[in-house]
């Protein structure tokens, strides 16, 4: 079954999809420099969540790790 993050659902709020987890909530619980796998957002296509040494939220995508705020903004701009 597909899973979707709260952040993806906020951008693409259609078809009544309910979020399964929040990328931001998970990242906030991580120590700096740590990552976690197993939270896969089918909408964004991410496979991992991390917190960088400087406290930024990162997501793992096909091409590697990306800054989440930049990544999310790209998706939001594509929608509009």
Range of the domain at 32: 6-79
Calculate mean pLDDT across residues 50-57. 97
Whether 28 shows a pLDDT value over 90: the answer reads yes
34 lies in a domain? Answer: yes
State the average pLDDT for the chain: 91
Residue-level pLDDT at 61: 93
pLDDT value of residue 14: 66
Task: Decide which of 27 and 1 is more confident.
Answer: 27
73 touches 44 (CB < 8 A) = no
pTM score of the predicted model: 0.88
**Which value, to the nearest 10 degrees, does the dihedral of the CA atoms of residues 11, 13, 19, 21 take?**
10
Number of structural domains (the chain) is: 1
pLDDT, average across residues 8-25: 88
Is 1 within the bounds of a domain?
no
């Amino acid at each position: 079954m597909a899973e979707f993050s709260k952040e993806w659902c906020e951008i693409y709020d259609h078809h009544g999809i309910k979020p399964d987890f929040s990328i931001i909530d998970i990242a906030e619980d991580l120590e700096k420099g740590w990552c976690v796998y197993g939270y896969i957002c089918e909408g964004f296509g991410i496979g991992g969540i991390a917190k960088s040494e400087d406290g930024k939220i990162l997501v793992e995508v096909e091409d590697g790790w990306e800054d989440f705020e930049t990544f999310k903004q790209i998706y939001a701009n594509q929608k509009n």
